């Protein structure tokens, strides 16, 4: 027996980067606040899978798909042999391990592609922004979650398999995936390290990270170089749906006492009622003349929540019962649901003071886009 190189450098890098990006994407999947980072790990995973597919054809001996091309039946029967303690030791992937590799690549691809379409549909962001509407985006999201859960299950199966094979054959398989080497009988072909490909893979991952942070998240490089980052907003991916309607007259008339609430935040009937009752507007008389009322209304109705130009519009509109006409955004079921976990003390912070001070927590409130990642509760 002698120690030989089995897993080349690119294969090991792929393995751990893929595992880490899946774990990171999993951990950032719960909170909307981390969505921009969640998406990054998704794109990283997609890129890594792309690399692995190429490396499975062009890579070193043990990395090539042809060196572990077993069917599901071979995988199952190997699993049975292992369980009864009779399985052969394999230098490369064993038949059960090969099933995990193919399943994880296929599920990873499904998770990433559905994720891409959820981001493009529900958030109107990313590479396929606008290809799907909100309703379809939500349906794809179900599939995205399902595929991710299934993938986690296969990961656990893979870990159990690695632990079992390590124990049965008295070798640390996880460590082999770090060092790349295994004990093998004299004459077993060894792999080449492929250092250059490994280095290029690392450079590509780093470049994607830098590009994402500074370009996709709109972080000005100059400010970071000059260590002048105090007043930078939270990094977030830009909204790339159709530009939201804007109107100087509306900003002027409706933005003087509070911020101008974008028309997408209430349905048309609410705006009609607010304008009809403009002389008793929450205790104030707006004293708008007829032409101004008409111009404002035309603008607001044209991009009201029913138009679903943003995720918030879509969700707010869906949450309101057709027989009700809320005058407050803060009374709509979607709004109250999204904000019910905010502590009473946070509403009272001097930077917030009131629920209608949306811009205190949403950096893009003036624009009306209300992107998940653009919010920060001031402390
Ligand atoms: C003279 C000051 C003033 C102007 C001008 C004004 N508002 Fe208001 N608006 C208020 C006050 C006061 C409230 C209640 C705020 C609170 O509850 O903290 C309010 C609340 C609202 C709310 C409910 C916010 C919520 O969800 O709780 C909406 C919607 C609204 N205004 C729309 C408009 C529109 C549209 C215009 C332009 C036509 C406008 N406002 C102009 C004073 C004004
Ligand atoms: C005290 C801070 C704060 C204020 C003020 C505030 N919000 Fe929020 N808002 C949040 C937080 C935090 C969330 C995220 C809740 C979550 O993660 O589900 C949120 C979520 C939302 C969402 C959902 C975003 C999404 O896509 O998931 C919308 C829309 C929204 N807010 C609109 C408003 C509007 C309109 C106002 C003003 C009338 C407002 N918010 C005022 C803190 C605030």
Q: What is the pLDDT of residues 56-110, one digit of tens each?
A: 999 999 999 999 999 999 999 999 999 998 899 999 999 999 999 999 999 999 9
Average pLDDT over residues 132-151: 92
CA of 344 to the centre of ligand 2 (A): 14
Query: Ligand 1 pocket, 274 CB below 6 A?
Result: yes
- Whether 138 shows a pLDDT value over 90: the answer reads no
pLDDT class for 229, splitting at 50, 70, 90?
confident
Q: How far apart are CA 140 and CA 119, in angstroms?
A: 10
Amino acid 234: pLDDT: 61
Query: Ligand 1 pocket, 336 CB below 6 A?
Result: no
CA of 369 to the centre of ligand 2 (A): 11
Query: Ligand 2 pocket, 140 CB below 6 A?
Result: no
Residues 5-60: pLDDT tens digits? 999 999 999 999 999 999 999 999 988 778 889 999 999 999 999 999 999 999 99
Please state whether 218 falls in left (phi above 0), alpha (psi between -120 and 50) or beta.
left
Q: How far apart are CA 313 and CA 331, in angstroms?
A: 14
Going by C-alpha positions, the residue among 220, 210, 239, 223 that lies closest to residue 373 is: 239
Going by C-alpha positions, the residue among 337, 335, 320, 334 that lies closest to residue 269 is: 320
The best mutation among 234, 313, 350, 361 to test binding of ligand 2, ranked by most ligand atoms within 8 Å of the C-beta, falls on 361
Query: Ligand 1 pocket, 259 CB below 6 A?
Result: no
Q: How far is CA 284 from the centre of its chain?
A: 43
Query: Ligand 1 pocket, 338 CB below 6 A?
Result: no
- Whether 237 shows a pLDDT value over 70: the answer reads no
Q: Say which residue, 289 or 135, is predicted with more confidence.
A: 289
Amino acid 106: pLDDT: 98
Going by C-alpha positions, the residue among 45, 15, 11 that lies closest to residue 28 is: 45
Q: How far apart are CA 157 and CA 155, in angstroms?
A: 5
Q: How far apart are CA 86 and CA 253, in angstroms?
A: 81
Give the angle 5-64-42 at the CA atoms, nearest 5°: 100
Query: Ligand 2 pocket, 49 CB below 6 A?
Result: no
Residue whose Cα lies nearest atom 41 of ligand 2: it is: 358
Q: Rounded to whole angstroms, what are the CA distances from 253 to 236, 296, 303, 329? A: 30, 9, 17, 18
Query: Ligand 2 pocket, 370 CB below 6 A?
Result: yes
Residue 344 burial (C-beta neighbours within 10 Å; 0-12, 13-18, 19+): exposed
The best mutation among 260, 362, 369, 377 to test binding of ligand 2, ranked by most ligand atoms within 8 Å of the C-beta, falls on 362
Instruction: Identify which ligand lies nearest to the alpha carbon of 377.
Output: 2
Average pLDDT over residues 129-154: 92
Ligand 1 atom with the shortest distance to the CA of 253:
37
Query: Ligand 1 pocket, 330 CB below 6 A?
Result: yes
Structure tokens at 205: 């991952």
Minimum mean pLDDT among 117-121, 153-157, 254-258: which range? 117-121
């Amino acid at each position: 027996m002698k120690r030989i190189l089995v897993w080349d450098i690119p294969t090991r890098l792929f393995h751990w980067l893929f595992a880490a990006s899946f774990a990171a994407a999993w951990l950032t999947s719960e909170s909307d606040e981390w969505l921009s980072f969640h998406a990054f790990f998704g794109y990283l995973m997609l890129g890594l899978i792309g690399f692995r597919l190429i490396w499975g054809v062009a890579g070193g001996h043990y990395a090539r798909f042809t060196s572990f091309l077993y069917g599901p039946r071979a995988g199952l029967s190997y699993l049975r042999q292992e369980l009864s303690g009779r399985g052969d030791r394999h230098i490369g992937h064993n038949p059960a391990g090969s099933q995990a590799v193919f399943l994880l690549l296929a599920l990873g691809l499904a998770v990433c592609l559905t994720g891409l379409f959820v981001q493009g549909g529900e958030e109107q962001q990313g590479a396929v922004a606008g290809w799907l509407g909100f309703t379809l985006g939500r349906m794809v999201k179900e599939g995205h979650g399902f595929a991710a859960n299934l993938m986690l299950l296969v990961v656990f199966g893979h870990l159990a398999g690695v632990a079992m094979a390590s124990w049965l054959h008295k070798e640390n398989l996880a460590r082999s995936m770090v060092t790349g080497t295994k004990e093998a009988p004299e004459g077993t072909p060894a792999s080449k390290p492929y250092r250059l490909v490994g280095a290029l893979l690392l450079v590509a991952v780093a470049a994607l990270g830098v590009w994402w942070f500074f370009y996709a998240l709109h972080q000005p490089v100059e400010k970071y170089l000059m260590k002048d980052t105090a007043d930078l907003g939270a990094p977030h991916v830009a909204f790339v749906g159709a530009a939201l309607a804007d109107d100087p007259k509306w900003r002027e008339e409706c933005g003087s006492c509070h911020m101008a609430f974008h028309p997408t935040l209430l349905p048309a009937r609410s705006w009609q009622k607010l304008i009809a009752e403009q002389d008793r507007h929450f205790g104030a008389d707006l004293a708008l003349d007829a032409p101004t009322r008409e111009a404002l209304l035309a603008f607001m109705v044209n991009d009201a929540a029913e138009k679903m130009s943003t995720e918030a519009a879509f969700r707010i509109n869906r949450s309101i019962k057709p027989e009700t006409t809320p005058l407050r955004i803060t009374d709509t079921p979607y709004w109250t649901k999204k904000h019910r976990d905010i502590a009473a003390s946070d509403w009272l912070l001097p930077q917030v003071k009131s629920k209608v001070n949306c811009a205190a927590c949403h950096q893009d409130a003036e624009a009306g886009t209300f992107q998940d990642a653009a919010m920060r509760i001031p402390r």
